[in-house]
């Protein structure tokens, strides 16, 4: 990983050649990259086999615990309804995540303008974080009426805090000597922000994004439990509720699977974005272990 | 030039033909709000083109003094002038100052080239002109092949060279260096010391260099300001009246040893004095 992201430079070739060459000589089973994928996959397969074995062996009825095979079958047969719902949930999640990112970053910029502003407003950001969204959701639905908008607002509120706190911390985490260097060279406020504060904040910001992407999905599902409607606007939470009422447990599991996969996909996407932005320079992405 | 008596500061001994001082420290002192005396009043005058070293143990206020000259710290009392103007009004003199920190202090996200161009970017120099000057500066420190590299791909010594290139790219008149090679291994430090002397002569710089190494001070300086700790103060100043360019041979010469011995004795006297004060 380390070697792959190195840009060409006169010092690089020697360093680049060694790990790659040694990795090629190792048997496949001992290669770190192979292990990173193979180990979790092996655990997953083992658990699935155990699950399938228990369901078949103990003859558990599908309305209690469906087997993994039945779950996948249901996913296939109910794909039209589940796929449509998946799109709705993903839409709410992405909109909320984007909104939380934009608002969170703007609030952070406001906070770092002065300690006074931060001191005065930070407790309210915490208040936002500690108030359970389930408790606030009915109020938001009454205010905004439109279910999609209400859900997006609820999910944004859940996803907002990590972005505010991480980005604020990042914008303040400038190396003191580098800060002095900017002062000595009479850098303007804007120059310091663009050339020093924002790049210094990026690792923290992306850390916040990673947490918030997961929270946005959780927020979207929770909000739909409270605010959701059926019909074309039905998301995965609605499918789970309906399946519960109808004791259609395989379908409930299929919907759960889709939610989990969406979460994993978001996490992978955030990791990829982080590597894209920081890969070449930041220690969190350049260390090899 | 005559060697000064201990405790006797430079200005009084300056022949009238000397150019006006580049740096003047007039009874500048630093006391922290809790009453700690970081630096007792210092009087110091540095001529254009001098290589002056501030030498002393940790806590002697050498970095404090340097940061006051740089305008990064305000003296509690007293004044500092650069070319007859207060530090904050350096721009009026048309002279430029650059500062090299103890660590390379580079932007890890930016290439060597972008790091060196930073002071020009901040000053609004057009990109094309900036790049040409950056190329010259990198050539001076021998890093022209590494313009596109990121700081983390370079060794500590090379990163320090980038930091020096960044300070030279503005064509400064006064170069302030705060233990710049303190974190490097001895061999690399000797090499960079020699390169620095070379640049100092080539560029007609005035250098104030902070170090805690007697050998580095003797090798580099035309004048050494000996400082002592608790409270931080200037003890005496020494002229190192040896010709430049100084080669590695100078480091094993009897003159070198003689200068080093004088500095060491002074350092010991200062700390003995301090010990007497401590013991009732």
Are A240 and A85 spatial neighbours (Cβ–Cβ below 8 Å)? no
Instruction: Tell me which fold the domain B10-96+172-278 belongs to.
Output: Rossmann fold (3.40.50)
Which single residue is written with the structure tokens 């002592």? B228
> What is the Cα–Cα distance from A70 to A55, expressed in whole angstroms?
11
Residues 6+ apart with CB under 8 A from B49: B22, B204, B205, B206
Q: Tokens at residue B163, please?
A: 């930091």
| B48 reaches A (C-beta below 8 A) | no
pLDDT over 60 (residue A18)? no
**Contact A9/B70, CB-based, under 8 Å?**
no
Candidates A9, A183, A184; nearest CB to B148: A9
Asked if A185 and B101 come within 8 Å (Cβ–Cβ), the reply is: no
Return the residue of B nearest to A7 by Cα: B149
Asked whether the beta carbons of residue A10 and residue B145 sit closer than 8 angstroms, the reply is yes
Q: What percent of chain A has pLDDT over 90?
A: 42
- Residue in B64, B102, B109, B123 to test binding to A, most A beta-carbons within 10 Å: B109
Crossing angle of helices B112-122 and B127-140, in 10° steps, is: 130
**Cβ contact A286–B108 (<8 Å):** no
Q: Which of A1-5, B147-151, B179-183 has the highest mean pLDDT?
A: B147-151
For B181, the 3-state DSSP assignment is coil
pLDDT tens readout for residues B130-143: 999 999 999 888 89
Cα–Cα distance measured from residue B244 to residue B254, given in angstroms and rounded to the nearest whole number: 16
Read off the pLDDT of each residue in A127-155 and give the average, rounded to a whole number.
Answer: 87
CB contact under 8 A, B72 and A184: yes
Closest C-alpha among A213, A196, A224, A226 to residue A262: A213
Chains A, B: CB contacts within 8 A come to: 64
Cβ of A177 within 8 Å of Cβ of B154? The answer is no
- Residue that is written with structure tokens 């990198």 in the block: B138
CB distance B103–A191 less than 8 Å? no
Please determine, for residue A73, whether its predicted confidence score (pLDDT) is greater than 80.
yes
Domain ranges in chain B? Answer: 10-96+172-278
Q: Do A181 and B105 touch (CB under 8 A)?
A: yes
Range with the poorest average pLDDT among A7-16, B192-201, B221-230 = A7-16
* CATH class as words, domain A67-278: mainly alpha
Residues of A in contact with B99 (CB under 8 A): 180-181, 184
The residue among A102 and A148 whose pLDDT is bigger is A102
A interface test, pick of B92, B105, B145, B164 with most A CB neighbours within 10 Å: B105
Q: Tell me the C-alpha distance between A17 and A3, whole Å.
A: 8
Chain B segment 78-107 residues within 8 A of A by beta carbon are 99, 101-103, 105, 107
B38 three-state secondary structure: strand
Test mutation, A16, A281, A283, chain B, max B CBs within 10 A: A281
Report pLDDT for B229. Answer: 85
Nearest by Cα to A162 from A124, A115, A113, A125: A125
Q: Is the pLDDT of residue A289 over 80?
A: no
Question: Which tokens sit at A201?
Answer: 């904040």
**Smallest Cβ distance to A280: which of B121, B150, B154?**
B150
pLDDT given for residue A24 in this prediction: 55
Question: Is B97 in contact with B91 (CB distance < 8 Å)?
Answer: no
- Cβ–Cβ below 8 Å for A195 and B122: yes
- Residue B269 reports pLDDT greater than 60: yes
- Structural element, H or E, at residue B30: strand B21-31
Calculate how close chain A gets to B110, using CA atoms only, in Å: 8
Please state which of the ranges A14-18, A162-166, A221-225 shows the lowest mean pLDDT: A14-18
Size of chain A, expressed as the number of residues it contains: 289
Per-residue pLDDT tens over the stretch B5-62: 444 444 444 444 556 788 999 989 998 888 888 899 999 999 999 999 999 888 888 9
Please compute, for residue A14, the number of CA atoms within 13 A of its CA located in the half-sphere on the CB side.
3
Residues of B (164-223) whose Cβ lies below 8 Å from A: none
Task: Please judge whether A181 and B71 are an interchain contact, meaning their C-beta atoms are less than 8 angstroms apart.
Answer: no
List, as one string, the DSSP characters of A151-219. Answer: HHHHHHHHHHHHHHHHHHHHHH---HHHHHHHHHTT--HHHHIIIIIHHHHHHHHHHHHHHHHHHHHHH
Q: What is the pLDDT of residue A95?
A: 96
Per-residue pLDDT, averaged over A49-56, amounts to 91
């Amino acid at each position: 990983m380390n070697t792959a992201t190195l840009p060409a430079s006169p010092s690089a070739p020697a360093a680049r050649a060694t790990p790659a060459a040694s990795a090629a000589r190792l048997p496949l089973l001992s290669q770190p990259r192979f292990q990173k994928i193979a180990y979790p996959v092996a655990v997953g397969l083992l658990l699935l086999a155990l699950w399938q074995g228990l369901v078949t062996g103990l003859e558990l009825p599908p309305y209690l615990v469906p087997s993994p095979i039945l779950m996948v079958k249901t996913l296939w047969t109910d794909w039209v309804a589940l796929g449509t719902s998946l799109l709705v949930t993903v839409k709410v999640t992405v909109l909320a995540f984007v909104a939380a990112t934009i608002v969170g970053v703007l609030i952070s910029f406001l906070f770092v303008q002065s300690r006074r502003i931060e001191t005065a407003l930070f407790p309210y950001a915490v208040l936002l974080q500690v108030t359970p969204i389930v408790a606030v959701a009915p109020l938001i639905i009454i205010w905004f009426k439109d279910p999609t908008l209400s859900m997006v607002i609820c999910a944004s509120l859940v996803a907002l805090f990590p972005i505010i706190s991480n980005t604020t911390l990042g914008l303040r985490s400038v190396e003191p000597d580098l800060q002095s260097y900017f002062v000595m060279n009479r850098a303007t406020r804007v120059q310091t922000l663009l050339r020093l504060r924002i790049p210094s904040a990026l690792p923290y910001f992306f850390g916040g994004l990673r947490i918030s992407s997961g929270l946005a999905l959780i927020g979207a599902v929770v909000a739909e439990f409270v605010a959701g409607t059926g019909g074309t606007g039905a998301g995965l939470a609605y499918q789970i509720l309906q399946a519960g009422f109808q004791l259609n447990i395989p379908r409930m599991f299929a919907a759960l699977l889709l939610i989990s996969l969406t979460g994993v996909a978001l996490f992978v996407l955030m990791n990829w974005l982080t590597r894209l932005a920081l890969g070449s320079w930041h220690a969190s992405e350049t260390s090899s272990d | 030039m005559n060697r000064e008596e201990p405790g006797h500061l430079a200005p009084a001994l300056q022949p009238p033909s000397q150019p006006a001082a580049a740096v003047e420290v007039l009874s500048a002192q630093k006391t922290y709000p809790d009453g700690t005396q970081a630096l007792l009043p210092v009087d110091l005058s540095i001529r254009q083109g001098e290589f002056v070293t501030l030498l002393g143990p940790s806590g002697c206020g050498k970095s404090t003094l340097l940061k006051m000259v740089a305008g990064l710290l305000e003296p509690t009392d007293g004044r500092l002038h650069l070319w007859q103007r207060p530090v904050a009004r350096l721009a009026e003199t048309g002279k430029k100052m650059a500062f090299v920190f103890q660590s390379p202090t580079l932007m890890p996200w930016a290439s060597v080239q972008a790091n060196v161009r930073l002071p020009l970017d901040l000053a609004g120099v057009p990109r094309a002109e900036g790049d040409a000057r950056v190329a010259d500066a990198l050539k001076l420190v021998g890093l022209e092949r590494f313009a596109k590299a990121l700081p983390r791909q370079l060794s500590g010594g090379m990163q320090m060279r980038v930091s020096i290139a960044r300070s030279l790219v503005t064509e400064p008149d006064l170069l302030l260096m705060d233990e710049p090679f303190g974190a490097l291994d001895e061999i690399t430090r000797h090499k960079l010391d020699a390169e620095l002397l070379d640049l100092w002569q080539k560029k007609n710089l005035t250098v104030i260099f902070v170090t805690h190494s007697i050998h580095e001070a003797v090798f580099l300086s035309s004048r050494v300001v000996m400082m002592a700790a608790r409270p931080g103060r200037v003890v005496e100043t020494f002229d190192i009246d040896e010709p430049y360019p100084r080669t590695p041979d100078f480091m094993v010469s009897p003159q070198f040893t003689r200068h080093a011995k004088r500095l060491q004795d002074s350092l010991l006297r200062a700390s003995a004095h301090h010990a007497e004060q401590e013991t009732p």
